[in-house]
Amino acid sequence: MNDERVELLLAIARRTLDIDTFESTGELDTDLHEVNIGDVVQALEAAYDAGLLVGYRIGRSECMESS
């Protein structure tokens, strides 16, 4: 996965799940997070919406180039 996608997903995780990094420390207390199901839904919706926006921009850009 490229850096831009990871950064976008990490921003969503920070905002909705209170997760600061995707790096594993090897410590259960640090690596495991208890998350409210509503927050998981919100994070998934944000990631889905971001994917729609990126897809729309790419499609629009390709249409503009072919015109």
Q: What is the pLDDT of residues 10-63, one digit of tens each?
A: 999 999 999 999 999 999 988 998 999 999 999 999 999 999 998 888 887 777
Is pLDDT of 67 > 80? no
* Residue 21 contacts residue 10 (beta carbons within 8 Å): yes
What global pTM score does this model have?
0.77
